[in-house]
């Protein structure tokens, strides 16, 4: 059951590539997405516990000209639909299209949203009333954990295995 829009709820931040789906360099089409084992049940469990699930992902492929922001938005709509088809809910997607070495000049910036900076997380925390004591991030890189720390929340490093089992360990550690 989703938390009411005005209700304070805990939030889980999930990196996309390497956490929800297998890492593939510059994935931007649904046919490039292979879900991590236990991804649907992990998000479903968090939803059942009242967590808002928010994806935060660096997408430097946009800055490098490999795909567009619209490609990413379309993929995220499809990913949310597949999650919903499996009884799980993603409340929001945030992505950082910038990179300091971008080939497309408009994206060539060390932007506040690009992890390890906390911009995406701070935007989500501002958008939703949040129980900060129970809020955390799951990422697969040190930069994800740095962003969590900068946002004042716990961060957990996921390397491999079943995401649902890992989520239970994270919840127990809070």
Distance between CA atoms of residues 132 and 7, nearest Å:
13
Q: Is the C-alpha dihedral spanning 136, 171, 72, 6 positive or negative? A: negative
From 17, 113, 140, 144, the catalytic residue: 17
Whose tokens are 């740095």? That residue is 146
From 15, 91, 113, 140, the catalytic residue: 15
Catalytic, 144? Answer: no
What separation in angstroms does the CA of 119 have from each of 65, 158, 159?
22, 21, 24
Catalytic, 17? Answer: yes
Which residues are designated catalytic?
A: 15, 17
């Amino acid at each position: 059951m989703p938390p009411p829009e005005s209700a304070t709820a805990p939030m889980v931040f999930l990196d996309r590539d390497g956490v929800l789906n297998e890492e593939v360099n510059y994935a931007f089409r649904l046919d490039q997405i292979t879900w991590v084992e236990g991804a649907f049940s992990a998000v479903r469990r968090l939803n059942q516990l009242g967590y808002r699930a928010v994806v935060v992902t660096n997408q430097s492929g946009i800055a490098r000209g490999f795909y567009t922001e619209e490609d990413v938005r379309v993929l995220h709509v499809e990913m949310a639909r597949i999650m919903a088809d499996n009884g799980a809910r993603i409340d929001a997607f945030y992505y950082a299209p910038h990179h300091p070495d971008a080939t497309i000049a408009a994206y060539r910036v060390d932007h506040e949203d690009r992890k390890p900076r906390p911009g995406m997380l701070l935007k989500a925390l501002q958008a939703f009333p949040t129980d900060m004591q129970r809020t955390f991030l799951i990422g697969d890189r040190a930069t994800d954990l740095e962003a969590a720390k900068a946002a004042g929340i716990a961060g957990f490093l996921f390397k491999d295995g079943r995401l649902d089992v890992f989520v239970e360990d994270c919840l127990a550690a809070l």
